[in-house]
Amino acid sequence: MNLYTQHPKNGSPNSSHDQQLVIILNKQLIKKIVKVLLALLVIGLSIRLLPVFLPILLPLLVSLVISLLLTPLVDRLENVGMNRGAAVGIIFVIFGGLIIAGIKFLLPTMSREIETMSQFMAQQDSQSVIDKIQVTLTRHIPILKNPEIAREVSARLHGLFTSLVSKSLNLIFAIISSFTLIITVPFITFFFLKDGYNIKKFIIQSVPNRYFELSLNLLYKTNQQLGNYIRGQLLVSSIVGTLSIIALYSLKVPYYFVIGIIAGLANMIPYFGPIVGAMPAILVAIVENGTPGSVVGIIIAFAMIQLLDNVLISPIIVSRSVQIHPLVVIIVILVGGNIGGIFGMLLAIPTFAVGQVIIKEIVWSFKHYRLSI
Amino acid sequence: MPSSYWNNIFDKNGRNKPDLDLILKRVPFFSQLKKSELREFKRILHHRYYKKGEVLFFEDEPGVGMYVIETGKIGIYKNYDDASREELAILQSGEFLGEMALLDESPRSATAVALENSSVFGLFRPDLFNLIESKPRLGNKILLKLAQMLAERLRLSNNELQELKQQYESSVIIR
């Protein structure tokens, strides 16, 4: 689009009068420039205000995920003729009861395990733990007897151990400091569940007409896909976690409960999750027993669980619409680890998958709908 | 900023306008609904305002649902952007458009443009599908009406096709 337009007067382009450029300010162009500037201002302000809103963002996101998980249950109760508010109340009472029961029965076991685990870590001189692992490794892998390789392995193990201890402590502190979440999340989730449809409707209502159908389509599709993905992932993780706890308990691996939960959570990471999940169990088995038999047992158990997951559980539960290339998985996990440590690594793939679904739908919409600024 | 934008945001009484029931009753899908069902149904409608010249949807864009005109006039055009623009219809208060998109996401067959400042009620596929799940009796009533209307159109098309075929055959015989 031209900013300036020449208006030749008297039909003669060479006359002095005609040489004067008449600048016609294009209203449309000015409008567009103002809009772009406004958009940039909004983006700039959002980035500037992000630290202020970040503490609100986390409970909002957690509440959104929980409401995505529980919405089908509330809908089902509403479908049998119950008032939506009452349906949300009933779901809250049931899940609140389950969580309280879980805390009452499982928390003592978990805290006992974490306590003994940290006592064990404190008692063990980190060097002696590393020595134990090294002895076991050199006994079964002869090449590690080479003094230079042994020194290198020892240094690496030392680094791994200290970072593991500090990161687990960070994780525990993060959980404790998230006390505010415990108060705000149920409150926000309640309203998301009760008024979710009206909130969605209000968002759509405030969209300009030219983007209306596009936004409507985008919101419904992403909502549906994300709901399915998150519900599927959490269900698979719970099943894998439960199976891991059962397997570790039968193999008499100490701290089976905490390690099983870690394995379930790590299962959300494609390709590497199962290895990450099995590592703590293998490390504990080496330190506690130092026998290859127990390690082999753990590897077989985890391999069986993975086989079951890949052949039976995931194909039934998780939709295959979210596919991530292995190389992308590595990069995303590394970036996640850099940003938020172990917690970041765990959340990296689900967050990336959610972003991927949203971007895919936005691209699809941009291709199929006519858009202009 | 277009006035329709703020009208859409601050639409406070859109759903409760007394004449909405009368307008909806004129639409075949909703004519059989009881008062309580109509009240339930109005919850899933989206009230939108379009100023003169604004496009409701473009030809070939994926369809999301249908619109019932409350006030104003909506023009339906083929090849809206081309010189070969063809006006298919001008719809007014109580009439509806885009109903095929309630069934699938196939592209819109024409462009719909507001010919004067208009207000419309949108019914969209995902909401209708949710309604079928949550209130099967109500959802099925609407679906049945939609199916009946499509069957009627198919019958008319078949009749027209039959007539055209007969005209063609008779012209071939004459020649």
Q: Tens-digit pLDDT profile for chain A (373 aa)?
A: 444 444 444 444 455 556 655 565 677 778 778 888 888 898 888 888 877 777 777 788 888 888 888 888 898 888 888 888 899 999 999 988 888 887 777 777 767 776 776 666 666 666 666 666 666 666 666 666 666 766 776 677 666 666 665 665 565 556 555 666 778 888 899 999 998 888 888 888 888 888 888 888 888 888 887 788 888 888 888 999 999 999 988 888 888 888 888 888 888 877 777 888 888 888 888 777 667 777 888 889 999 998 888 888 877 776 555 667 778 878 888 888 888 777 777 778 878 888 888 888 888 888 888 775 4
Nearest CA in chain B to A75: B134
pLDDT of residue A42: 87
pTM here is 0.67
CB contact B172 to A (< 8 Å): no
pLDDT of residue B153: 87
Phi-psi region of A11 (alpha: psi -120 to 50; beta: other; left: phi over 0): left
CA distances from B67 to A5, B53, B81, B119 (A): 42, 17, 22, 10
Secondary structure class of A14 (helix, strand, coil): coil
Arithmetic mean of pLDDT, B3-24: 65
Print burial letters for B55-87: b (CB count within 10 Å at least 16), e (below 16): bbbbbebbbbbbbbbbbbbbbbbeebeeeeeee
CB contact A34 to B (< 8 Å): no
Secondary structure class of B34 (helix, strand, coil): coil
CA distances from B154 to B66, B87, B142, B150, B161 (A): 19, 22, 18, 6, 10
Residues of B in Cβ contact (< 8 Å) with A220: 124, 126
Print burial letters for A57-72: b (CB count within 10 Å at least 16), e (below 16): eebeebbbbbbbbbbe
pLDDT at B42 over 90: no
Q: How far apart are CA B126 and CA A89, in angstroms?
A: 26
CB A348 within 8 A of CB A335: yes
CB contact A209 to B (< 8 Å): yes
Confidence grade of residue B99 (pLDDT, cut at 50, 70, 90): confident
Helix count (H) and strand count (E) of chain B? 5, 8
* A12 Cβ neighbours under 8 A, 6+ residues apart: A18
Name the percent of chain A in helix, strand, coil, to the closest 5. Answer: 85, 0, 15
Helices A126-140/A147-177 angle, 10° precision: 130
CB contact B56 to A (< 8 Å): yes
CB contact B17 to A (< 8 Å): no
CB A156 within 8 A of CB A180: no
pLDDT of residue A1: 40
Q: At residue B89, what are phi and psi to the nearest 5 degrees? A: -165, 160
Q: How far apart are CA A273 and CA A342, in angstroms?
A: 12
CB A352 within 8 A of CB A324: yes
Secondary structure class of A107 (helix, strand, coil): helix
Residues of B in Cβ contact (< 8 Å) with A204: 46
pLDDT of residue B77: 94
Place of tokens 């392995």: A153
Q: Give the closest of A75, A212, A370 to B58, CB-based.
A: A370
Flag if B61 and A205 touch (Cβ within 8 Å). no
pLDDT at B171 over 90: no
Element (H, E) at B114: strand B111-114
Q: Across the beta sheet with B73-78, what order do the strands follow? A: B55-57, B111-114, B73-78, B86-92
Share of chain B above pLDDT 70, in %: 91
Residues of B in Cβ contact (< 8 Å) with A213: 57, 61, 64
Secondary structure class of B86 (helix, strand, coil): strand
> DSSP label at B107?
B
Residues of A in Cβ contact (< 8 Å) with B130: 75
CB B73 within 8 A of CB B115: yes
Measured torsion, CA atoms of residues A33, A38, A43, A45, in degrees rounded to the nearest 10: 140
Q: Give the closest of B2, B61, B134 to A79, CB-based.
A: B134
CA distances from B105 to B65, B88, B101 (A): 9, 22, 6
Looking at every residue in chain B, the average pLDDT score rounds to 85
Arithmetic mean of pLDDT, B100-113: 89
A66 is written with which tokens? 């929980």
CB contact A114 to B (< 8 Å): no
pLDDT of residue A167: 60
Q: How far apart are CA A77 and CA A90, in angstroms?
A: 9
pLDDT of residue A317: 74
Probe site for chain A from B57, B133, B137 (most A CB atoms < 10 A):
B57
> DSSP label at B89?
E
Residues of B in Cβ contact (< 8 Å) with A78: 134
Nearest CA in chain B to A368: B61
CB contact B11 to A (< 8 Å): yes
pLDDT at B78 over 90: yes
A69 is written with which tokens? 């998980």
Confidence grade of residue B1 (pLDDT, cut at 50, 70, 90): very low
